[in-house]
């Protein structure tokens, strides 16, 4: 426990954690580029950034999950190699993962001692843990019933067990990865109280989040990550959420879309009071109502994880909700029979999912098979009730691939052999060429190169101009601003504001995305 001894001297000048020039690539993707960071002992340091900015990768390197390609880690001033989790634990680092690393049918005590037992028999370890837990419960407001089984605890309590696990292993440095993503507001504020008291006891805490309010509320210093780089490190009291939001989103390559003013017609999508509750009983989508008209694009802005995915999946017929959905004035079900994806398509809804590899494509299907995916009942693609007309599908595929400039334009290739951008074009080609009444599209340009972005944007506008209603969900603010006619911002499962695109700007939307409304 070298970390333990050294941090026992709080006035030690050496920072608790120092990262120097950390780089990490996964194949062609550079997840971390030359990152340097220094966190003083006994502070709470926040790291903010959008999804995919490289925060989790950096922390995984610190916790020994990945090995950095280059760079050095110093713990309390001492260069430390962290080849695996064991070494990280040994160096006094504890991690609270986004998805808890708990054994669901074990008791709290069993989870706490797992991997840190004192001897071959469990009895003494459990007794020791029990007394320590009692002590910690008093010290840090971390009370949990030691004999409760994890799966019967609420998420907030489960998270406390994760923190207790780290403390039991005598961690001095605690990393929390998106800790409030699954918490209710009161659970979150309790967590922050725990974190502050831990800091006051001399622990160093790294808080990874994309929620700016949390950064402002609890951290001492904050770093911003964007596209694998550390773009700024500032003292929290010297900054403002607006500034952080701008640093997070950044000024991206200016995208130009040729776009006339919208000419909205009748209401196509009329959704009222949509609410989605996940299997843990947490409301992910809260009472959302919105309308999209023929010939307009409604953009849904927001930091990822604020209910956009759920909204998309309800509209696409993948998950069920309460509330009501009308399409062209006709009521469609949002749960039970008739709410499946096939029924949605028959109502003229085309759905481009956020995750094309998981949902939008069958990665082991050929491109041409994917071109009929979801529309395999279409009479154009079938000889009769039994047999599919593979020639017709191949023919349509060749045409669509040409129109959407899919490269290579080989219908016989398997989907996983295409690049991300071209996979996306296959999905878009399939959904756009159906002439949908309503298009719901999520993250249309995620992982797509610049050239293709412009192309895809133009196609979305063309679709609007041909009379479709478009609901666009994106975490890229630029994309929302350049495509939408109206913008709604989602925060914490709700729509907290709606603006006409031409009458708003990035700053205003950035504030809304951070959950700050003018009223509050």
Partner 1 sequence: MNSQMPKWADVALIPLLNLLLAFLVSGLVVLWIGENPLHALVIIIKGSIGSAYSWGYTLYYTTNFVFTGLAVAVAFHAKMFNIGGEGQATLGGLGAALACLSIDWPHWLLAFPVIVAGAALFGAAWAAVPAYLQARRGSHIVITTIMFNFIAFALLVYLLVHVMKAPGSMAPETKTFPPGAHLPTAHEMLAWFGIGFPKSPPLNVSFLLALAACVFVWALIWRTRLGYAIRAFGFSEPAAVYAGISPFRVIMISMLISGGLAGMMAVNTVAGEAERLLIDSVQGAGFVGIAVALMGRSHPVGVLLAAILFGILYQGGAELEFELPAVSREMIVVIQALVILFTGALDNMVRMPVEKLFIRMRRGAP
Partner 2 sequence: MDFATVIQILDSMMRLSTPLIFACLAGLFSERAGIFDIGLEGKMLASAFFSAAVAAFTGSVLLGMMAGLTASMLLALVHGMASITFRGNQLISGVAINFFASGMTALIGQNWFKLGGRTPSLSGDGRFLPIEFPFAVNIESVPILGPIYSELFSGHTFLVYLSIPTVFLAWWILFRTRFGLRLRAVGENPEAVDTGGLSVTGLRYQATLICGLLCGLGGAYLSTGMAAGFIRDMTAGKGFIALAALIFAKWRPVYALLACLLFGLLEAIAIRFQNIEITGLGTVPLQLMQALPYILTVVILAGFVGKAIPPRAGGEPYVKER
Does 425 sit near partner 1 (CB under 8 A)?
A: no
In the complex, minimum distance from the CB of residue 185 to partner 2, in angstroms, rounded to a whole number: 28
Rounded distance, CA 441 to CA 447, Å?
A: 15
DSSP category for residue 151: G
Which of positions 293-322 make contact with partner 1 (CB under 8 A)? Answer: 316-318
Question: Any contact of residue 121 with partner 2 (CB under 8 A)?
Answer: yes
Segment interacting with partner 1, rule: CB under 8 A, options 88-96, 296-304, 342-350, 492-500:
342-350
> Among all chains, which residue has been given the structure tokens 């929390």?
176
Asked if 333 touches partner 1 (CB under 8 A), the answer is: no
Residues 6 or more apart in contact with residue 140 via CB below 8 angstroms = 167, 194, 197, 198, 201
User: Is 417 a binder of partner 1 (CB under 8 A)?
Assistant: yes
Backbone angles phi, psi at 226, to 5 degrees: -145, 125
d(CA 389, CA 377): 11
Q: Which is nearer to partner 1, 213 or 413 (CB)?
A: 413
For residue 408, cis peptide bond before it (omega within 30 degrees of 0): yes
> Whose CA is closest to 282, among 307, 312, 317, 300?
307
Q: Which of 101, 127, 257, 450 binds partner 2 (CB under 8 A)?
A: 101
**What residues pair up with 292 in beta bridges, in sequence order?**
269
Q: Find the binder of partner 1 among 291, 320, 333, 343 (CB under 8 A).
A: 343
Separation CA 10–CA 42 (nearest Å): 8
The C-alpha atoms of residue 297 and residue 257 are separated, in whole angstroms, by 13
Binding mask 47-86 for partner 2 (x = CB under 8 A): ----------------x-x------------------xxx
Options 112-120, 216-224, 303-311, 357-365: segment touching partner 2 (CB under 8 A):
112-120
Residue 26 interacts with partner 2 (CB under 8 A): yes or no: yes
Q: How far is the CB of 417 from partner 1 (least distance, A)?
A: 6
Which of the choices partner 2, partner 1, none does residue 458 contact, using the CB cut-off of 5 to 8 A by kind? Answer: none
| Residue 115 contacts partner 2 per CB under 8 A | yes
Stretch of 12-20, 98-106, 380-388, 426-434 contacting partner 2, by CB under 8 A: 98-106
| Residue 274 within binding range of partner 2, rule CB under 8 A | no
Residue 102 interacts with partner 2 (CB under 8 A): yes or no: yes
Stretch that binds partner 2, among 108-116, 203-211, 265-273, 421-429 (CB under 8 A): 108-116
Q: Which residues of 364-388 are buried (b: 16+ CB within 10 A; e: fewer)?
A: eebbbbbbbbbbeebeebbeeeeeb
For residue 350, with 0-12 CB atoms within 10 Å meaning exposed, 13-18 middle and 19 or more buried, which class applies? buried
Taking CB under 8 A as the binding criterion, the range among 105-113, 281-289, 292-300, 348-356 that sits at the site for partner 2 is 105-113
157-160: long-range contacts, CB 8 A cutoff, minimum separation 24: 158/100, 158/102, 159/96, 159/100, 159/183, 159/187, 159/191, 160/194
What count of other Cβ atoms lies within 10 Å of the Cβ of residue 220?
Answer: 16
Nearer CB in complex with partner 1: 431/485 = 431
Residue in 156, 302, 353, 436 binding partner 1, rule: CB under 8 A: 353
As a whole number of angstroms, the distance between CA 298 and CA 317 comes to 19
Instruction: Write the burial class of residue 513 (CB in 10 Å: 0-12 exposed, 13-18 middle, 19+ buried).
Output: buried
Give the C-alpha separation, 163 to 39, whole Å. Answer: 20
In angstroms, how far is the first alpha carbon of the chain from the final one?
Answer: 47
Residue 23 or 343 having the CB closest to partner 1? 343
Q: Does 505 bind partner 2 (CB under 8 A)?
A: no
| Binding pattern for the stretch 8-47 against partner 1, x by CB under 8 A and - elsewhere | -------------------x--------------------
Question: What, of partner 2, partner 1, none, does residue 183 touch, CB below 5 to 8 Å by kind?
Answer: none
Q: Which segments of 141-266 does DSSP mark as H helices, in order?
A: 155-168, 185-200, 212-218, 241-249
User: Could you say whether residue 416 binds partner 1 (CB under 8 A)?
Assistant: yes
The torsion region of residue 304 among left (phi > 0), alpha (psi -120 to 50) and beta comes to beta
Strands 438-442 and 349-352: parallel
List of residues contacting partner 2 (CB under 8 A): 26, 63, 65, 84-86, 88-89, 95, 97, 101-106, 110-111, 113-117, 119-123, 125
Q: Which residues bind partner 1 (CB under 8 A)?
A: 27, 316-318, 340-345, 351, 353, 358-365, 369, 372-374, 376-377, 382, 385-388, 390, 414, 416-417
């Amino acid at each position: 426990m070298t970390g333990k001894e050294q941090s026992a001297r709080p006035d030690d000048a050496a920072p608790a954690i120092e990262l120097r020039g950390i780089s990490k690539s996964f194949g062609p993707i550079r997840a971390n580029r030359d990152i340097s960071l220094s966190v003083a002992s006994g502070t709470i340091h926040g790291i903010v950034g959008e999804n995919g900015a490289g925060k989790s990768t950096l922390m995984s390197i610190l916790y020994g999950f990945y090995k950095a390609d280059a760079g050095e880690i110093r713990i309390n001033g001492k260069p430390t190699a962290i080849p695996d989790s064991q070494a990280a634990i040994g160096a006094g680092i504890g991690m609270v993962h986004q998805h808890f690393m708990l054994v669901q049918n074990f008791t709290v005590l069993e989870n706490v001692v797992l991997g840190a037992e004192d001897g071959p028999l469990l009895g003494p370890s459990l007794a020791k843990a029990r007394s320590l837990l009692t002590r910690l419960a008093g010290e840090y407001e971390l009370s949990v019933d030691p004999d409760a089984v994890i799966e019967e605890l609420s998420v907030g309590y489960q998270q406390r067990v994760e923190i207790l696990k780290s403390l039991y292993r005598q961690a001095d440095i605690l990393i929390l990865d998106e800790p409030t993503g699954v918490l209710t507001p009161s659970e979150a504020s309790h967590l922050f109280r725990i974190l502050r008291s831990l800091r006051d006891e001399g622990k160093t805490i790294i808080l990874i989040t994309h929620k700016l309010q949390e950064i402002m509320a609890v951290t001492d210093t904050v770093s911003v990550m964007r596209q694998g780089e550390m773009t700024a490190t500032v003292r929290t009291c010297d900054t403002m959420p607006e500034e952080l939001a701008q640093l997070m989103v950044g000024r991206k390559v200016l995208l130009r879309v040729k776009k006339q003013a919208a000419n909205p017609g009748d209401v196509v999508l009329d959704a009222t009071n949509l609410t989605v509750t996940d299997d843990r009983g947490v409301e992910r989508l809260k009472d959302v109502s919105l309308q999209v008209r023929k010939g307009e694009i409604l953009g849904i802005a927001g930091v990822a994880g604020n209910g956009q995915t759920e909204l998309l999946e309800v509209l696409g017929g993948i998950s069920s909700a309460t509330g009501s959905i009308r399409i062209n004035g006709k009521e469609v079900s949002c749960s039970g029979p008739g709410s499946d994806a096939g029924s949605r398509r028959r109502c003229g809804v085309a759905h481009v999912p956020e995750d094309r590899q998981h949902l939008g494509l069958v990665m082991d299907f050929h491109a041409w098979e994917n071109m009929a995916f979801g529309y395999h009942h279409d009479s154009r693609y079938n000889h009769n009730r039994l047999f599919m007309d593979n020639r017709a599908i191949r023919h349509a595929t060749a045409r669509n691939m040409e129109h959407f400039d899919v490269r290579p334009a080989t219908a016989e290739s398997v989907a996983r052999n295409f690049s991300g951008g071209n996979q996306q074009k296959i999905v878009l080609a399939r959904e756009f060429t159906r002439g949908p009444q309503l298009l719901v599209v999520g993250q249309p340009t995620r992982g797509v190169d610049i050239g293709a972005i412009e192309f895809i944007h133009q196609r979305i506008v063309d679709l609007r101009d041909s009379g479709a209603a478009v609901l666009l969900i994106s975490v890229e603010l630029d994309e929302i601003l350049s495509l939408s006619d109206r913008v709604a911002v989602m925060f914490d499962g709700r729509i907290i504001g709606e603006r006409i695109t031409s009458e708003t700007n990035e700053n205003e939307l950035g504030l809304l995305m951070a959950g700050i409304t003018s009223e509050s």
